Amino acid sequence: MLNMALFGPPGAGKGTQSEKLIAKYGLFHISTGDMLRKEIASGSDLGKKIDEVISAGHLVSDELIMSIIRKTLAENPHEKGILFDGFPRNLSQAALLEDLFDELHLPFFGILSLDVPREELLARIVNRGKTSHRNDDNETVFEERLKEYEEKTLPVARYFEKKGKYHVVSGTGTLDEIFERLVHLIEKK
Ligand code: ADP
C-alpha cells in the first residue's frame, strides 16, 4: 500500500501530477481543494462560508478538512493507497494525518514536494486563472496564498524532514520529466 501526500506551493503542479500518480499506482485521490470547490458549487450555506475563506486566500478550518477526509475515506475503497493533494497544510493537520494513519493501522510513505521558483508559480497561476474561473487564481490572492504557504505550510516540510519522510523533486520542466522524477523517488525506496 502506498500512502503519500503531494506537497508544494500554489501553482506547483500538484493537481496535474496527482492525476498521473493515481493512474500509475491505482491510488485513491483526495484533493481537499477540489472537495471544497465541490461544496461551493453545491450552493450550500457551508459552501458560501468556504467560498469567502478561499477567495481571501486563507485556509479553511482543520475540523472541516478532517471531517471531509474521514467521510470520504469511509465511503470509498482505497486498498492500493491514498494520495493526498493539498493536505496537510499546517502543523496541526500534519499531526492529525499521523493520528489518522495510526488509527487505520496504515503506513505513511511520506511527503513528495514539488519545488518551483516563485516567478514561475505566479505566471502559472495567472495563466490558469484565464480558464479556471477560480476566484483565487489571480495575482492579488496568489500573494496571500503564498504567504499562508510560507507561514503555515512550510513548517510541515520540516516536520516530516526530521522523520525522514520528506522528499523533494524539481517541479520545472515537462510534465513527463517531473512525473519521472516522482516515480524514481517512489521506486528507489
Ligand atoms: P493550491 O494548491 O493551488 O493553492 P488547492 O486547490 O489545493 O490549490 O487549494 C485551494 C484553497 O482551498 C486553499 O487556498 C485553501 O483556502 C483551501 N484548502 C485546500 N486544502 C486545504 C487544507 N488542507 N486546509 C485548509 N484549507 C485548504
Provide the b/e sequence for 79-91 (b: ≥16 CB within 10 Å): eebbbbbbbbbbe
- How confident is the model at residue 189, as a pLDDT? 65
Is-contact 90 148, C-beta < 8 A? no
Dist. CA 82 → ligand 1 center (Å): 18
Q: Give the count of domains, the chain.
A: 1
What's residue 54's pLDDT? Answer: 97
Establish whether residue 32 lines the binding site of ligand 1, counting it when its CB lies within 6 angstroms of any ligand atom.
Answer: yes
Residue 180 included in any domain: yes
SS3 state of residue 136: coil
Looking up cell 480558464 gives 131
Q: Provide the whole-model pTM.
A: 0.94
Given a cut of 70, the residues of the chain with pLDDT beneath it are: 189
What pLDDT sits at residue 29? Answer: 98
Q: Is 9 close to ligand 1, i.e. is its CB under 6 Å away?
A: no
For residue 170, give its domain range.
4-184
- Is 155 within a domain? yes
Residue 83 lies in a domain: yes
189 within a domain of the structure (yes/no): no
Q: Summarize pLDDT for 45-98 with one digit per residue, the tens.
A: 999 999 999 999 999 999 999 999 999 999 999 999 999 999 999 999 999 999
Residue nearest to atom 4 of ligand 1 (CA): 10
* pLDDT for the residue 26: 98
Average pLDDT, the chain: 97
Q: Report CA(159)–ligand 1 centroid distance (Å).
A: 19
CA of 50 to the centre of ligand 1 (A): 11
Tell me, what CATH number does 78's domain have? 3.40.50.300
